[in-house]
Structure 1
Amino acid sequence: MKATILNLAIAASLGSAVVAQPHRHAHHVHQKRENSPLEKREIVTTYVPATVTQYMLGNEVVSPEEAQAGLDKGLTSSKEDAVFIEKVTTSSSSPPPPPTTTSTPIPKPEPTKSSYPVSSGAKGIDADFPDGELDCTTFPSDYGALPLNYLGMGGWSGLQYTPNFSLKDLAISFIETGISKPAGQTGFYSYACPDGYVKTQWPAAQGSTGQSIGGLYCNSQGKLVLTRGDVSKKLCQKGISGITIKNKMSSGTSVCRTDYPGTENMVIPLDSTPGSSLELANVASNNYYVWQNKQTTLQYYVNKKGVNAEKGCRWVCDSDPEGCGNWAPINIGVGESDSGITYLSIFPNKAVSKAVLDFNIDISGDNSIKCYYHVGEGFSGGADGCTTGIPKGGSVTITFSE
């Protein structure tokens, strides 16, 4: 059995109906590999069984009642009870291991300019999407969507083909995950938004065994249609302001959000170049995606120095297959609670990675308690990371430094 451990502290005070983003790596099996049979395939069929949730404090399993009691304290009473963990166990097989390495040293990656546009390059962020008018082979960059050309999928961040699905269905039992540029197959086409923005479109239906589904829908007429047109006619919405990532290093790095709801790959990019300040998207958990009647949060992957978004914001990172992409050393979790407090966490990606981050992370500003990661010292909250609160209307800076 494969256990995926996620930070639950950002759901503090959100109530018993809230969980951290249920990022289940088990069904991400669509990455290309050298000499893999996937090289000549365009799609991979994926099946994910139901999940069982356990709550953990450190290395000890606690009951849901004990976990909720800890959450109700706000996770601020001491370092020892600063981080709760949600452990999602599935009976599916583990994802394929990273490509095996030879004795040849892996060259240290250097920051390079990414090929995807920066936020200012996105046009029409406030324009209504022309529902049912654009061909499925047209990426909707004129309506605010940010093309991720480096993924090789026509700009889309994720593709989930559902040939047997009708928009009236409540569940989706058959999903094919696309790995190359689409040719107009029916299904869901997910997309990235500029820094500080999140996508607005996903269907009410979810996978019959718990998969999240996201994006516009390509219908049988080959046209892109809104999946939440009753909520928003726009493709992107501004997240909650107040969290900035500032890079004070001489090297660049990347912070990659999971494409959620959707394939859940860590492909939504923030390219943190030296001297840059970028807005980290945040959402109100009670007004965003609901997974199996539970509120969710946003999750980010922090890569090492020298790994730009084009290299690191993908499932497999060729330059360091055991240390970036899905195996990045540190995660950031964020979400605003019902009370208006944003809970911000930094924690190790120890469920799958043994990599160690090679720079410091400090949170400063209107945060309730200290929360940092320092090279050689670790996290302020202990081995499992740390969580801090930001009052409604407050702001913090997440600083990267050497």
Structure 2
Amino acid sequence: MKLLFLAASVVIAASVNAQPHVHRHRHLRRAAVKRDLLTETVYEPGPVATITVFLLNGQQISEDEVNQGIKNGTLVWGDDGNLSTSAAATPTPAPVPSSSKAEEQAPASDTSKAAVPSTAAPSTAAIQVKAQATSVQAAASSSSSQGPSQTSEPQPSQSSTPSSHSESIDGIDREFPSGQYNCDSIPDGFGAMPVGDAGLGGWIGIQAPQADTAAGYDDITTVPQGSCPGGRCCQPGSFCSYSCPNGYLKSSWPAKQGATGQSVGGLYCNSDGFLELADGAVAKTLCVKGTDKVTIKVQNNLSVNQSICRTDYPGTESETVPVTTQPGESVELACPDNSKYYQWQGKPTSAQYYVNNKGVPEKDACQWGDGSKPVGNWAAVNLGVGYDAKSQKAYLSLAPNAPTNPDAKLDFNIEFKADDMSNQCKYSNGQYLSGSNYDQPQKDGCTISLGLGTLTIILSDQ
């Protein structure tokens, strides 16, 4: 689920996740476009009384999204002909933004809540909606929300507590001993951060491939969020994803990925019920620091708390990695070095963040939304961050959350500040601005590169 944009040297891939939303990650430097930018479409065959639309969880999505979701296993056609999410499959990857629309996530023991592997379906099938019909229910949900409201976001809360990700973590550099910790909970003392809001016993995403083929994992089931807040979601045969402290990224994912381009990530729960670093892990520790070439920070100059949420990538690609700041607080953002971190089909990737309105509680900001409010995957702005080893520059971008919620606007301003920036980039009063005097409005967002030093992302009231 993704799509932002970065400099010309950055490329992105988009995917449909197990929700009616498209994330965006970017593959840096001349990587091929994984798929085109999706646009919402209503098909009108002519002046007749029938319009073909696709509805999922009460939300209209495009045929491209349907086709891609069926292809990668995140959507299925039910026996009743209704379209539903396969909480079973994972989304395809994607990285940081480019201002030219270039390219950049065993079922649970409670099988009643684990999704079933998706099955093939005609890619051209559609839900036929008569002009007189008032609604079409999606099989996966009884939700009838028709889109995000620009005025229904949560009210700012002065009492929201800061994310524990801001705390220093003991054991961050300690090697993880595979096969010694059971899968019931996230191992303590190695830097990994439990996230309770996902309702997965501290994990941020759990994927269980049902098929292991020469081309990769297939029929990948995903444990639905909220299935087991007390734990025991991570079952043998699953990849269980976890969060790391601010400035750090998880190190573990399998060398073999999804057969149709899905990303898979996390610790592996072996047949004996013990956790192992996956065979594609880039370190012996659970967490790795972002690039040491530059430092990216967020400075909260707002009057209330604010949450920026990173996607679980590789993995479920849900925006479940929280970075929450309090007024006056400054924290580091993880900036992956594309020569040392996850590569999607041989192409380098970067990190994508969702920027929520101020005052939105972390538990709402860093979870899947239903479209009724501009929060979570419906947040107004995407932030792309990555370091390109070839050009020896970091790239950062701000962009609308399109096509999911392109008209949403933040209730505060964002500005990049650094000594060695290639350009100016600012979000002010709903506009993306570049140019030396911020005199160049950019409809699709703005991107900068950074050679050395520290870049601060300043959040300020309008």
Give TM-score scaled by structure 1 length. 0.77
For residues 214-249 of structure 1, what are the alpha-carbon distances to aligned partners after superposition, in whole Å with 9 as ceiling and x for unaligned? 010001111111114774110001112411100101
The whole-number CA distance in structure 2 between the counterparts of 1:151 and 1:7 is 28
Query: What's the counterpart of residue 389 of structure 1?
Result: 449
Classify the secondary structure of the residue corresponding to 2:377. Answer: coil
The whole-number CA distance in structure 2 between the counterparts of 1:92 and 1:177 is 25
When residues 202 and 11 of structure 1 are mapped into structure 2, their CA distance, relative to the original with a 3 A threshold, is farther
Identical positions, percent: 38
For residues 91-122 of structure 1, what are the alpha-carbon distances to aligned partners after superposition, in whole Å with 9 as ceiling and x for unaligned? 6999989751799x847333343486233263
Matched, 1:45 2:98: no
Moved more, 325-334 or 378-387: 378-387
Query: What's the counterpart of residue 282 of structure 1?
Result: 335
State whether residues 115 and 149 of structure 1, in contact with CA within 8 Å, keep that contact through their aligned partners in structure 2. Answer: no
The whole-number CA distance in structure 1 between the counterparts of 2:33 and 2:250 is 20
Query: What's the counterpart of residue 119 of structure 1?
Result: 166
Matched, 1:84 2:100: yes
> Which residue of the other structure, out of 217, 226, 229, is the alignment partner of 2:277?
226
Matched, 1:349 2:396: no
State whether residues 147 and 156 of structure 1, in contact with CA within 8 Å, keep that contact through their aligned partners in structure 2. Answer: yes
Offset, 1:152: 0.6
When residues 106 and 84 of structure 1 are mapped into structure 2, their CA distance, relative to the original with a 3 A threshold, is closer
The whole-number CA distance in structure 2 between the counterparts of 1:190 and 1:22 is 28
The whole-number CA distance in structure 1 between the counterparts of 2:278 and 2:460 is 41
Classify the secondary structure of the residue corresponding to 1:7. Answer: coil
The whole-number CA distance in structure 2 between the counterparts of 1:11 and 1:118 is 31
Query: What's the counterpart of residue 183 of structure 2?
Result: 136
Query: What's the counterpart of residue 339 of structure 1?
Result: 391
The whole-number CA distance in structure 1 between the counterparts of 2:234 and 2:365 is 26
Matched, 1:162 2:212: no
Matched, 1:374 2:428: yes
Within-5 A mapping of 1:3-402: 5-9=3-7, 11-12=9-10, 15-17=29-31, 26=69, 44-46=87-89, 83-86=99-102, 100=145, 106=152, 108-111=154-157, 112-114=159-161, 117-120=164-167, 122-165=169-212, 171-179=216-224, 180-181=227-228, 182=233, 184-228=235-279, 231-240=282-291, 241-316=294-369, 321-337=372-388, 338-353=390-405, 354-366=407-419, 367-380=421-434, 381-391=441-451, 393-402=452-461
State whether residues 269 and 276 of structure 2, in contact with CA within 8 Å, keep that contact through their aligned partners in structure 1. Answer: yes
Classify the secondary structure of the residue corresponding to 1:401. Answer: strand
State whether residues 115 and 310 of structure 1, in contact with CA within 8 Å, keep that contact through their aligned partners in structure 2. Answer: no
Q: Which runs of 5+ in 1 are unaligned?
A: 31-40, 54-74, 76-81
When residues 92 and 336 of structure 1 are mapped into structure 2, their CA distance, relative to the original with a 3 A threshold, is farther
Q: Which residue type is aligned with residue 109 of structure 1?
A: Q
State whether residues 19 and 295 of structure 1, in contact with CA within 8 Å, keep that contact through their aligned partners in structure 2. Answer: no
The whole-number CA distance in structure 1 between the counterparts of 2:178 and 2:395 is 36
State whether residues 10 and 387 of structure 1, in contact with CA within 8 Å, keep that contact through their aligned partners in structure 2. Answer: no
Moved more, 118-127 or 358-367: 118-127
Offset, 1:185: 3.9
Q: Which residue type is aligned with residue 236 of structure 1?
A: C
Classify the secondary structure of the residue corresponding to 1:175. Answer: strand
For residues 125-167 of structure 1, what are the alpha-carbon distances to aligned partners after superposition, in whole Å with 9 as ceiling and x for unaligned? 111111111111021232111110111101001100124449x
Offset, 1:44: 2.7
State whether residues 122 and 141 of structure 1, in contact with CA within 8 Å, keep that contact through their aligned partners in structure 2. Answer: no
Moved more, 336-345 or 181-190: 181-190
Equivalences, count: 353
The whole-number CA distance in structure 2 between the counterparts of 1:275 and 1:21 is 40
Classify the secondary structure of the residue corresponding to 1:244. Answer: strand
When residues 200 and 144 of structure 1 are mapped into structure 2, their CA distance, relative to the original with a 3 A threshold, is same
The whole-number CA distance in structure 2 between the counterparts of 1:18 and 1:279 is 30
Q: Which residue type is aligned with residue 89 of structure 2?
A: T
Query: What's the counterpart of residue 67 of structure 1?
Result: none
Please tell me the root mean square deviation across aligned C-alpha atoms, in Å.
Answer: 3.7
